[in-house]
Amino acid sequence: MAVIHSRWILIVLVVLNFPGAIFGYSEKELKNWCSQTPYPAPCEQFIKAKATAKHSPIATKSHFLKLLVETALDGAVSAQKTALSLGPKCHNGREKSALTDCVDLYNQIISRLNRSADRCSSVDAQTWLSASLTALDTCRNSLQELGVSAFGYPLTSNNVSKLISDGLSVNKPASPQGFEPTMAEGFPTWVRPGDRKLLQSGSPSADVVVAKDGSGNFKTVKEAVAAAKGGGRFVIYVKAGVYSENLEINAKNVMLIGDGIGKTVITGSRSVGGGFTTFRSATVAVDGDGFIARDITFRNTAGAANHQAVALRSGSDLSVFYRCGFEGYQDTLYVYAERQFYKQCDIYGTVDFIFGNAAVVLQDCNIIARDPPNRTITVTAQGRSDPNQNTGISIHNSRITSAGGLSGVKAYLGRPWRQYSRTVIMKSSIGGFISPAGWLEWSGNFALNTLYYGEYMNTGPGASTANRVKWKGYRVITSATEASKFTVGNFIAGGSWLPSTGVPFTPGL
Instruction: Give catalytic residue positions.
Output: 352
State which amino acid sits at residue 66.
Answer: K
DSSP 280: G
Mapped onto helix, strand or coil, the DSSP state of residue 169 is helix
Distances in Å between the alpha carbon of 136 and those of 32, 103, 141, 403, 429?
Answer: 28, 10, 9, 36, 35
H-state helical runs in 87-149: 93-117, 122-145
Residues contacting 240, CB < 8 A, separation 6+: 258, 259, 260, 263, 264
Cα separation of 354 and 253, whole Å? Answer: 24
Contact 102, 135 (CB under 8 A): no
Cα separation of 436 and 410, whole Å? Answer: 10
Q: Is residue 452 within a helix (H) or strand (E), and if so which, with residue range?
A: strand 452-456
Strand residue runs (E) in 204-338: 208-210, 234-238, 241-244, 247-249, 254-257, 264-268, 284-286, 292-294, 297-300, 312-314, 319-322, 325-327, 333-335
Kind of pairing between the strands at 410-414 and 376-382: parallel
